[in-house]
A and B are shown apart, each in its own frame.
Chain A
Amino acid sequence: MPPLTLHELPFEMVPLEARLLVETTPAGFPSPAQDDMDEPIDLASWLIDHPAASYVMRVAGHSMVDAGIADGDLVVVSRAVEARPGDIVVALVDGSRTMKRLRRSAGRLWLVPEAEGYDRIIVDETVEVWGVVVALARRYRR
Chain B
Amino acid sequence: MTTVALIDCNNYYVSCERAFDASLNGVPVVVASNNDGCAIARSSEAKALGVKMGDPIHLIRDRLNKHGVVVRSSNYTLYGDMQRRVVAAVEEFASEVEIYSIDETFLDLEPFADRDLVDHANAMRDQVRRWTTIPTCVGIAPTKTLAKLANAAAKKNPLFDGVADLRDPVLRSWVLDRFPAGDVWGVGRATATKLAEIGITTAGQIRDMQMKQARGLGTVVLERLVAELQGVAASAVEVIEPQRRGMAVTRSFGTPVHDIETLMGAVAQYAMRAGEKLRQHGLVAGQLSVFFHTNRFKAGAGQYQGARRMALHPMTADSLELLAAARRGVEAAWRDGYAYTKAGIMLDDLVAAELRPRTLFEGDVERRDRLMTALDEVNGRFGKFTAVPAAQGFRRDWKMRAENRSPAWTTRIDEVPTVRAD
Contacts and interface: CB of A to CB of B under 8 A. Distances in A.
Interface size class of A (residues with CB under 8 A): 35 or more
B25 A20 contact: no
B354 interface: no
Contact of A62 (B130, B410, B417, B422): B422
Contacts, number: 97
A95 interface: yes
Contacts of A118: 422
Contact of B420 (A19, A22, A80, A96): A96
A19 B377 CA distance: 12
Contacts of B131: 50, 52-53, 79-80
Given A97-B418, A98-B421, A99-B420, A20 B23 contact: no
Nearest to A115: B421
A63 B85 contact: no
Contact of A18 (B23, B85, B89, B377): B377
Contacts of A50: 131
A80 B421 contact: no
Interface in B353-382: 364, 366-367, 370-371, 373-374, 377, 382
B276 to A, nearest CB: 15
Contact of A17 (B364, B377, B417): B377
A1 B377 CA distance: 35
Interface string A42-67: 00000000111101111111111000
Contacts of A17: 374, 377
A18 B370 contact: yes
A137 B421 CA distance: 16
Contacts of B59: none
Interface of B: 22-23, 25, 84-85, 88-89, 130-133, 364, 366-367, 370-371, 373-374, 377, 382, 409-410, 413, 416-422
